Structure 1
Amino acid sequence: MGGRIEGQDGLTRGNASAKETAVIVIDHVFRLHGLPTDVVSDRGPQFVSKFWQEFCRLLGATVSLSSGFHPQSNGQTERANQDLERTLRCLVSKNPSSWSQQLSMVEYAHNSLPVSSTGLSPFECSLGYQPPIFPSLESEVTVPSAHAFVQRCHRAWTRARETLLQAGARTKAKADRHRSRPPVYVVGQKVWLSTKNIPLRSVSNKLAPKFIGPFTVTKILSPVAVRLKLPPVYRRIHSAFHVSKIKPVFHSHINPPVPVPPPASSR
């Protein structure tokens, strides 16, 4: 579970129900960070359930789900998960029997590294300062067992930090190769919607329109996701979309609006 400052609280339980998830965040997140104003998540069953929606509403928090057909719209969490996954994979390969004992050091290393969006570490964003990191272990050894224990922690933290830095650099390089600056959209703007992931009732899929609309932008969810006002016939399709699935409307008599075909499921 990650925060908007890209800090990780390190709580995972994939099969938790909506109510169990609510208990987890109350016990382990809210008590440390306070109540949120917005909760970003994927479209897991617990997060789209009526219980979770009402739970967040009663707490005064809005619910932001990953946009339709593009889970990377929650890019901050996606990148953090990728980096942590690479780090854990490295730990497992080197310590197949004891890697789980190093998870605390992985979390500590992650929360002490600055992130590109703020230039600050999650610790600095959350606490207002950077906690001390491991000091040099060159001091005199008076209690060997204590020295050995701290040395193991230091090694685990160092390995995790180095792996996270390498993973972050690889993730950024890969993203930069495929990234282009998306258009800036505003509420009220008309856009075309890609039909790539929308099954339409059409004589031929090859002859079906590539874009439909225009539809109106009703909310800017993030720099890379918007909410559209869809007609009632598309009520089963979520109205949030990644900006890669839309494009601005440029009015022209040569390119009139495309009639919106009904979805295939409405037969």
Structure 2
Amino acid sequence: MLEVKKTSARHPQSNGQAEAINKTLVKMVWAYLVGEQDEWDQNLGCLAGAYRSTPNESTRLTPNLLAIGREVRLPADVIFGRKDMNAEETPSYACYIEDLKDNLHSAHEVARRYLKNNAKRSKQLYDARQSFYRYEVGDAVWCLNESRKVGVMPKLQKAFEGPNLVKKKQSDLSFVIQMDRQGRERLFHHNKLKPYRGENLPKWIISLAKKL
């Protein structure tokens, strides 16, 4: 069954895979058009094809190989030829399917191994840069105030709002925060929270924290 997971608002780091491909495509479009922005969308097809045939830094394999079990024929392959294009024997349907399954299985095993090592390295680098505070359910917190009022300079607004209550811990970095006594909830990333150090907590936080 497909599980849908939400990411915290205005925090692109929570959706890293989508943001990474968007960032890469924007760089490719910019480099390809050399500053010209007319009809840029007409070039997305060839740029996407170039991306899919280029080995990924994390998996060391091309998206084509991981998705369809083989490399696609590029224009240069059609013009100059490629070894596997000149095969004398055409495999049977059963052999083709079996080879395709083996190729996909091998490619995915290699990709998982590289992704695991890359994720471990990325986590070490991220943890080294972060001042980490471990929030728990029932903690009182300040939440970054990202709302903007018309006619009011953002720098003159309160940087944080609260105190609020940690209602649910989705991971070490994502938390469901109850914003008021009416039960309004929002999802926040760790770096948009600060621990509440005061003693004058609202009664609804004290009451609800005892039940969690």
Please report the TM-score for the alignment, with normalisation by the length of structure 2.
0.48
Higher helix share: 2
Give 1 or 2 for the bigger CA radius of gyration: 2
